Structure 1
Amino acid sequence: MKIKEIIVVEGKDDTQAIKKSVDADTIETNGSAISMETIEKIKLAQQVRGVIIFTDPDFPGEKIRKTIAEHVPGCMHAFIDKKFAKRKNGRGLGVEHASREAIREALKEAQTMTEMTDELISKEDLIDAGLIGGPKAKGRRERLGELLKIGYTNGKQLHKRLMMFQITKEDFIEALKCVLQEEKS
């Protein structure tokens, strides 16, 4: 599988995992303190070929994703679920631990975030659905993020990400039905 866009990853182990999975070029951030030199490389990559941000499903990975998105609008985002990004022994979490299949699937599902002015899903909808507050909220958000291919977020960021990925009310309701149905099983 050939990827036209340049994939932004955190480090050299991620680059190795990507190159074993797909034919692609990468830019490494070398951690969450991204230099302006790296930001400039990513800007150029976005202009020339497009960029897919593919960071670890953890706090530093989200910080990197947010920093790049602020400086380089229009990038695509690929997300990998935590369960597919864990080392076999359970220690370590990251793209470098994911299977080739999981990496290919995440890249195939990459989406572009855009700023939206129309609110399709309100914060009240999220509260009513039990996605903010309550004992099951975190698990529900995790599963919803998997189903909608937008990654895991905390309660505060979920609304923003739903808007940025332009998730329709219909798609949201369908995914939520799946989440609630799975809870009953």
Structure 2
Amino acid sequence: MIKEIIVVEGKDDTVAIKRAVEAETIETGGSAINADIIRRIRLAQERRGVIVFTDPDHAGERIRKIIAREVPGAKHAFLTQQAATSKGDIGVENASVTAIREALANVRTDQPAGESQISWDDLLEAGLIVHPQAAARRLAIGNRLGIGYCNGKQFYNRCRAFQITRDEFEAALQELERATDEEAQS
């Protein structure tokens, strides 16, 4: 059983989580997260800890940001959009048991943003900002690092908050470059 309580968006997400692991959930009721839900999440964080596991879409990211701001120290699990998509619908409820277990095995802890090993210049040099393919590159690197997709500023902030090391960053970048080279050769 997972010790922490997993925060999801809705009932279908709870069903998917319980198919994959033994855990308790708190449902936010979608993107309309209210003060009562935040109070429940804070209490859960104090007593057992929480893992935020929202959909890899705009609404899920909005909920994740609200919880990260209101509940310091929350852990985060991320699914790729590909792993969470079925018939054009994106959501945790669409992910396979394996994908859910992998996401929960690679949980990241939101830390107070300290000194980052990754600089804004690193993002620029890696083509993650101010580059014609920046969004696609951030998506690929974010998936490899387990921090999900976000815009350039949020990517930088997540590297800081999740304390991504230079080694992790460079390994993910090399993996992306290899995949890009292989794709160009085929």
On whether the aligned pair clears a TM of 0.5, the verdict is: yes
Give the counterpart letter for 1:17 in structure 2: A
Task: Tell whether 2:56 aligns with 1:92.
Answer: no
Task: Tell whether 2:168 aligns with 1:171.
Answer: yes
Q: Hey, what does 2:8 align to over in structure 1?
A: 9
Give the counterpart letter for 1:33 in structure 2: A
Per the TM alignment, residue 113 of structure 1 is displaced from its structure 2 partner at its CA by: 1.1
2: distance between equivalents of 1:180 and 1:145?
Answer: 14
Residue aligned with 1:7, SS: strand
- Gaps in structure 2 of 5+ consecutive residues: none
2: distance between equivalents of 1:183 and 1:4?
Answer: 39
Q: Hey, what does 2:80 align to over in structure 1?
A: 81
2: distance between equivalents of 1:121 and 1:72?
Answer: 25
Residue among 125, 147, 152 paired with 1:150 = 147
Q: Hey, what does 1:60 align to over in structure 2?
A: 59
Q: Hey, what does 2:117 align to over in structure 1?
A: 120
Among the aligned pairs, what percent are the same residue? 52
CA displacement 1:16-67 (0-9 Å, x = unmatched):
1111111000000001121111100001101111100000000100000010
Q: Hey, what does 1:139 align to over in structure 2?
A: 136
Contact 2:116 2:159 in 1 (8 A): no
1: distance between equivalents of 2:131 and 2:75?
Answer: 32
Residue aligned with 1:80, SS: coil
2: distance between equivalents of 1:40 and 1:119?
Answer: 31
Residue among 100, 105, 116 paired with 1:103 = 100
2: distance between equivalents of 1:77 and 1:6?
Answer: 11
2: distance between equivalents of 1:116 and 1:12?
Answer: 32
Residue aligned with 2:51, SS: strand
Q: Hey, what does 2:69 align to over in structure 1?
A: 70
1: distance between equivalents of 2:57 and 2:133?
Answer: 20
TM-score (norm 2): 0.95
Report the number of matched residues. 182
2: distance between equivalents of 1:116 and 1:64?
Answer: 19
- Gaps in structure 1 of 5+ consecutive residues: none
Per the TM alignment, residue 184 of structure 1 is displaced from its structure 2 partner at its CA by: 0.7
Contact 2:116 2:163 in 1 (8 A): no
Residue aligned with 2:111, SS: coil
2: distance between equivalents of 1:156 and 1:137?
Answer: 12
Residue aligned with 1:82, SS: coil
2: distance between equivalents of 1:118 and 1:156?
Answer: 15
Per the TM alignment, residue 73 of structure 1 is displaced from its structure 2 partner at its CA by: 0.5
Give the counterpart letter for 2:45 in structure 1: Q
Runs of 4+ residues deviating >6 angstroms: none
Task: Tell whether 2:46 aligns with 1:47.
Answer: yes
Over the aligned positions, Cα root-mean-square deviation in angstroms equals 0.9
